[in-house]
Amino acid sequence: MKKVSATGSGKFLKKLEAFRPTLGSLPVSILAATYLLLFLNATFWARAGVYLQGEPWAYAGLFAAMFALFTIATVAVSVKYVIKPILIFYIAVAAAAAWFTDNYGVFVDTDMVRNVFETTRAESQDLMTPGLLRHFALYFVLPSALLSWVRVTHQTLGRKVLENGFTIFVCLLIFAGLAATFYKPYSAIVRTKRDLVKTLNPITPLVNTTKYLLGVSQEVALVVKPLGEDARIAAPSDGSSKPRVAIVIVGETARGASFSLDSYTRQTNPELARQNVIYYPNVSSCGTATDVSLPCMFSNLKRSGYSHKAGLENENVLDVLSRAGVDVTWMENNTGSKGVADRVRNVVITGSKDPRFCKDGDCWDEIFLEKIDEWLSGITKDSVLVLHQLGNHGPAYYERYPDAFRKFVPDCQTAELAQCTDAEIVNSYDNAILYTDFVLSGIVERLKARSSTLSTGFLYISDHGESLGENGLYLHGTPYFMAPDEQTRIPMITWFDGQFASSMGLGLDCLRKSAARPLSHDNLFSSLLGMMNVTAKVYQPEQDMFAVCRAAPALPSSS
């Protein structure tokens, strides 16, 4: 029976082999270029149609120019034993990028590539939706299988060099000629509509991945430069001897537009509204993704001077606080501190197994409350605790809050946002904000309970905002130059007990009245130093959001 089966199988394979089509390497390259351009660049062509509206010849010329460019990219790799793996790789990259660009409006720039490489398993699982798998099956698996089945023939080496070289030369002429012919509309798009190029698959993702990998290779040799070597803690202005304690909460993907403490009509902050907190409605983020905003907000480089490399090779405000003598602890419930907490105590909660709060590698932020109680019980000196929330990280907003916080319904109960209405997406996002409100209020309550032995303060600030369908955009990570307000305007909240405010000479009424002034992540560095009465040359009083409301003179920036 086995012999018959094997023989039958062999005959079937021979028959299948007889039907296997044979194509030359040049036609295969051109077909691959056509497929990539037509089927995996929907967003590119949709935007190009809008930007070149009323100029049909320029639009047609753009197609011809891009076809020439893609043909160059495929013909250049049409070498025996190499052509199929590389073309399949092109298709895989383009298919993946197309899903996120077409469905969420996400651009695969260098920062987004960094997010992909540094994400956690739990976060990546949220993105592995049935829709993504269907998309991959149709746009990657099927064409890759067809490409693998085709028998590709190759010319002799000399003939191939001539054939490929001639094809590439002609394509270069076509590309250059069309670029010159339609220079005016094309140059206008490049200058004013830079988002168009960012949607070109797989070219843009491949270029940005290369940039990222080159940057990583250079980071190995970076030496961190010390900061604030003269830092010291100044005596409290009121002469208090209690340890001064500040809890800083870094919110995740919380946008100011969804806070009822802001201008939102829904009651998403009922608990904080009872805590006499101060809300700051005009705060902007350093970036639109955690990998940028998190290290940027703790640095003294400001958004205008920040780069990933500069952030890595310079110490940050936590280092200055620690050097001054403040006890600094970072608690992580997200995808890591991005280097911010490399030189201070770092407690990683992500991946905890506590069944009350954790499931599949993610933990609800309520897990912080018990950890805070433990931390507060061990305080003996001025201390800062930074909590990095899981917060509202999408697209699985529904997994960021327990069922008890499903106030706004129906809420989107899937990470595949295309299956939900925008209203359902907003409901699930707002429920996660409601849960954050509960957690933040719980932190304030724990600080209040220690008022007899500690002077306590609280600062909450989000890393970036989120798009929930406005202008067809979802999630975050849009390049900053074109990012909407929903992704860059973030919530910030402070609360201080009377002793803490007194110890820094702070007038709370003044702070409340001045809360609407424009602020940003740029202010956090000097503001944290100011909160903890730390003096150093790197302290900038004009950047300290509390300096204008100090009864005593602002802390010296040098000594």
Same domain, 324 and 395: yes
**Per-residue tokens: 456:** 């306590």
Percent of residues in the chain assigned helix, strand, coil, to nearest 5: 55, 15, 35
pLDDT tens string 520-547:
999 999 999 999 999 999 999 999 999 9
User: Does residue 485 belong to any structural domain of this protein?
Assistant: yes
300-326 mean pLDDT: 95
CATH number at residue 403: 3.40.720.10
Number of neighbouring beta carbons within 10 Å of residue 492: 26
**Per-residue tokens: 265:** 């009509």
191 compared with 272, residue with greater pLDDT: 272
CA distances from 554 to 379, 505, 506, 530, 551 (A): 27, 9, 10, 8, 9
Same domain, 204 and 254: no
pLDDT tens string 366-411:
999 999 999 999 999 999 999 999 999 989 999 999 999 999 999 9
Same domain, 76 and 112: yes
pLDDT category of residue 299 using cuts at 50, 70 and 90 = very high
The yes-or-no verdict on residue 216 having pLDDT over 80 is: no
Work out the angle between the directed axes of helices 25-39 and 56-75 (0-180°, nearest 10). Answer: 130
pLDDT category of residue 14 using cuts at 50, 70 and 90 = low
Sequence-separated (6 or more) residues with CB below 8 Å from residue 375: 329, 385
The yes-or-no verdict on residue 557 having pLDDT over 80 is: no
Same domain, 211 and 253: no
99-124 mean pLDDT: 81
pLDDT tens string 130-162:
899 999 999 999 999 999 999 999 999 899 999
User: Does residue 6 belong to any structural domain of this protein?
Assistant: no
Judge whether 538 and 227 are in contact, CB under 8 Å.
yes
User: Does residue 354 belong to any structural domain of this protein?
Assistant: yes
User: Does residue 191 belong to any structural domain of this protein?
Assistant: yes
pLDDT category of residue 213 using cuts at 50, 70 and 90 = confident
pLDDT tens string 40-89:
999 999 999 999 998 999 999 999 999 999 999 999 999 999 999 999 99
Burial degree of 240 (CB within 10 A; 0-12, 13-18, 19+):
middle
User: Does residue 543 belong to any structural domain of this protein?
Assistant: no
213-223 mean pLDDT: 77
pLDDT category of residue 498 using cuts at 50, 70 and 90 = very high
Same domain, 254 and 210: no
Q: From start to end of 265-382, where are the E strands?
A: 278-284, 327-332, 345-348, 358-359, 362-363
Q: What is the pLDDT of residue 112?
A: 81
pLDDT tens string 440-459:
999 999 999 999 999 999 99
Same domain, 77 and 36: yes
Report the range of poorest mean pLDDT among 122-136, 161-175, 251-265.
Answer: 122-136
pLDDT tens string 241-252:
899 999 999 999
Choosing from 217, 242, 267, the residue where a domain stops is 217
Same domain, 355 and 449: yes
Same domain, 254 and 205: no
User: Does residue 399 belong to any structural domain of this protein?
Assistant: yes
The rounded percent of the chain whose pLDDT value lies above 70 is 95
**Per-residue tokens: 180:** 């010159």
The yes-or-no verdict on residue 218 having pLDDT over 80 is: no
Q: What is the pLDDT of residue 195?
A: 84
Q: What is the pLDDT of residue 555?
A: 60
Residue 382 belongs to domain spanning:
234-506
Mean pLDDT for the chain overall: 92
The yes-or-no verdict on residue 552 having pLDDT over 70 is: no
C-alpha span between 30 and 475 (Å, rounded): 35
The yes-or-no verdict on residue 21 having pLDDT over 50 is: yes
Same domain, 202 and 279: no
pLDDT category of residue 194 using cuts at 50, 70 and 90 = confident
C-alpha span between 372 and 331 (Å, rounded): 10
C-alpha span between 283 and 259 (Å, rounded): 13
Same domain, 185 and 55: yes
pLDDT category of residue 7 using cuts at 50, 70 and 90 = low
Same domain, 292 and 358: yes
pLDDT category of residue 1 using cuts at 50, 70 and 90 = very low
Q: What is the pLDDT of residue 425?
A: 97
214-237 mean pLDDT: 86
Quick one: which H or E segment has residue 513?
A: helix 508-513
The three-class DSSP label of residue 550 is strand
The rounded percent of the chain whose pLDDT value lies above 90 is 77
The yes-or-no verdict on residue 5 having pLDDT over 60 is: no
197-202 mean pLDDT: 92
User: Does residue 416 belong to any structural domain of this protein?
Assistant: yes
pLDDT category of residue 360 using cuts at 50, 70 and 90 = confident
Q: What is the pLDDT of residue 16?
A: 61
Same domain, 77 and 211: yes
Structurally, the chain folds into a number of domains equal to: 2
Q: What is the pLDDT of residue 559?
A: 41
User: Does residue 4 belong to any structural domain of this protein?
Assistant: no
Quick one: which H or E segment has residue 520?
A: strand 519-520
C-alpha span between 274 and 263 (Å, rounded): 17
260-288 mean pLDDT: 97
